[in-house]
Amino acid sequence: MGAGRLMANLRFKKVVLDTRAHRHAFTQRILNRLSNPPVQHLDSAADEQPPALHRAAGYQTEMGKDTLHLLPFKGNFLKPCPGTKAYICCGYQILNVATQCPLDCSYCILQSYFDQPNLRVFVNLENELDRVCKRIDDTPDQVFRVGTGEFTDSLALDSITGWSDLLLPRFSKRKNAVLELKTKTASVDRLLASKHRNRIIVSWSLNSPYIATREEHRAASLKRRLEAAGRCQSDGFVLGFHFDPLIPHPRWEEGYLETLELLDKYIDPRGIIWVSLGSFRFMRQLKPIIRRRHPDSCVLDGEFIQGLDGKMRYFKPIRMELYAFMRQNLEKWSKDLGLYLCMESSDVWEHSMGWSPNNSDGLRHYLDERVKEIFGSNP
């Protein structure tokens, strides 16, 4: 499903406006970009709690993807990625600009992760950015790899939020940070209109054509994603790619090779900072939600065990086969892609990648060095 269908879905049926949102200029700018949908005013006391992790099975039949909820966020905007000590974590930092996503991938963990529906955009972001930047500047010896694509798609709402206008100027000036915008869309026009390129990474989540077509609902086609990536690369942006989640399916080897052929067609590997590999993993409460919301999905057809972090994962030999296949074929394309595994153990690294960072500190160092190599130590 292409980007045009996604943009049609951005004509929201309703906007929920928290009473605390009125005082923020960001709110009015968003409302001015919308096509006058009905607005429901919500008393702050009726929705007092910040987004919380969902703990009960069977949550979220309705995701509220046609409802835009504008409200301030009460927590810290910059937080470490919620990894686990059981597996090697990359040390990513999440800039929490919104929760939930207008795309509707069948495997998306957000279906069970938060206990509040609707596309929630935090309108006090602009007010809090100075604090975020001060925290980065006050820790000059740390490299901050920051992303907005953990709890929402980084670009799917950019045409109405103007996140690019807000974030790119600030992060392009930071000496010890990069900003990664991760997407499955082709919505790059606002991004390309910015004059800022330095220390900005635009990344795409990729999969096989089979998974992209069947499971990544409302996302742009692989061809359109990579065409958009090529436009960004030609215009001076550094790129990243994420094959996560890798999902075994009939003739999966051929399918992922087709995606790599498209990657070769549209992208120069010399402009890539990193490529991550990860396999499908999920909390137990997601399974009944997928069965209910996406009854034709194939993502639960594999053989799973409970991992050390409590999530369901493919058996280790299956994961290692997936990673080794992708590594071998990506390295035929280029030996310098910054390949890494997401949330895996050291032995899986050794068997699949031929080396291991040994622990989370080792992976953080590896990726920090990629940042220094691509962007240098100064903006």
C-alpha 7: how far from its chain's center? 19
Average pLDDT score over the chain: 92
Q: For residue 63, what pLDDT band results from cuts at 50, 70 and 90? A: confident
In this prediction, residues 75-84 reach a mean pLDDT of 90
- In the predicted model, is pLDDT for residue 185 greater than 60? yes
The amino acid at residue 126 is: E
pLDDT of residue 62: 67
- The whole-angstrom separation of Cα 200 and Cα 142 is 17
Position of tokens 């709690």?
49
Q: Are 88 and 359 in contact (CB under 8 A)?
A: yes
In this prediction, residues 238-244 reach a mean pLDDT of 98
- In the predicted model, is pLDDT for residue 46 greater than 70? no
Q: For residue 116, what pLDDT band results from cuts at 50, 70 and 90? A: confident
Residue 269, number of CB atoms within 10 A of its CB: 15
pLDDT of residue 82: 81
In this prediction, residues 84-104 reach a mean pLDDT of 94
| DSSP bridge pairs for 272 | 239
DSSP calls for 346-368? HHHHHHHHS----SHHHHHHHHH
CA separation, residue 97 to residues 16, 160, 162, 199 (Å): 17, 13, 11, 19
The token pair at 155 is 């670009």
The token pair at 297 is 């999905």
Structural domains of the chain in order of their starting residue, each with its CATH number: 3-375 (3.80.30.30)
pLDDT of residue 54: 41
pLDDT digits (tens, 9 = 90+) for 356-371: 999 999 999 999 999 9
